[in-house]
């Protein structure tokens, strides 16, 4: 009887002392993925050199941009290059001197993994439906995430559509690598993440 009473008291204490975990959520895409795409777009927009047309009225024709999650950010960054050069962006083609038609062939992320070590291994327990899972033991591992962008531009006289310039190819990319060497994780990146990390390499010794 005393044992039963003690068990009840212990269970009650555990229930009263338990604490709830905070509710957490994740966005559809990770912060690293969004950083990779944003930085790739920013590089391509700068490389386009559109600021040289800032002395004229500019109309952007976005009809050839494929609908995608990052389309509006790409449009905003292209217009920012004109705005930084104190250019004038107009909303109608008939009001413009120059029409810029951007094309986006590639704007996406990719990843690959390389592992030397033991992968995650499920081991079935005999005579049951249970599995014991041995976690991954990486001696050397690279998890490499990248973003790639390819832009092109047709530039016309707005009223006549006479070609002024064709920019056939602007390539940009960004990279973020997570490493594990002898169980010690760290990361390297080409991203300017100075708001969170001053160094390009960050060691996370456990």
CA pair distance 113, 107, nearest whole angstrom: 21
CA pair distance 40, 23, nearest whole angstrom: 33
pTM to 2 decimal places: 0.76
User: What average pLDDT is seen over the chain?
Assistant: 84
Listed in sequence order, the residues at least 6 apart from 29 whose beta carbon sits closer than 8 Å to its beta carbon are: 69
What pLDDT shows up at residue 27? 81
The length of the chain in residues reads 206
Structure confidence by residue, pLDDT tens digits, 96-117 = 999 999 999 999 999 999 999 8
Given pLDDT bands bounded at 50, 70 and 90, which one contains residue 206? very low
Q: Is the pLDDT reported for residue 142 higher than 80?
A: yes
Contact 56, 166 (CB under 8 A): no
Taking Cα atoms as reference points, which of 150, 154, 120, 156 lies closest to residue 138? 120
- As a whole-number percent, the residues of the chain with pLDDT over 90 amount to 55
CA pair distance 102, 100, nearest whole angstrom: 6
Q: Is the pLDDT reported for residue 18 higher than 70?
A: no
Structure confidence by residue, pLDDT tens digits, 48-71 = 999 999 889 999 999 988 878 899
């Amino acid at each position: 009887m005393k044992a039963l009473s003690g068990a009840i008291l212990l269970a009650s204490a555990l229930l009263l002392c338990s604490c709830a975990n905070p509710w957490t959520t994740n966005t559809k895409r990770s912060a690293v993925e969004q950083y990779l795409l944003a930085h790739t777009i920013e590089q391509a927009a700068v490389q386009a050199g559109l600021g040289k047309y800032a002395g004229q009225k500019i109309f952007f024709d976005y009809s050839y941009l494929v609908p995608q999650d990052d389309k509006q950010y790409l449009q905003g960054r292209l217009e920012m290059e004109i705005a930084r050069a104190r250019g004038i962006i107009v909303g109608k083609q008939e009001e413009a001197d120059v029409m810029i038609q951007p094309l986006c062939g590639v704007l996406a992320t990719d990843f690959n993994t390389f592992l030397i070590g033991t992968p995650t291994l499920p081991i079935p327990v005999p005579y049951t439906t249970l599995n014991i899972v041995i976690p991954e033991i990486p001696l050397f591992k690279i998890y490499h995430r990248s973003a790639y962008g390819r832009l092109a531009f047709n530039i016309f006289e707005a009223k006549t559509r006479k070609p002024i310039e064709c920019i056939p190819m602007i390539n940009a990319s960004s990279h973020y690598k997570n490493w594990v060497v002898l169980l010690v994780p760290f990361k390297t990146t080409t991203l300017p993440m100075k708001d969170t990390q001053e160094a390009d390499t960050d060691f996370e010794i456990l």
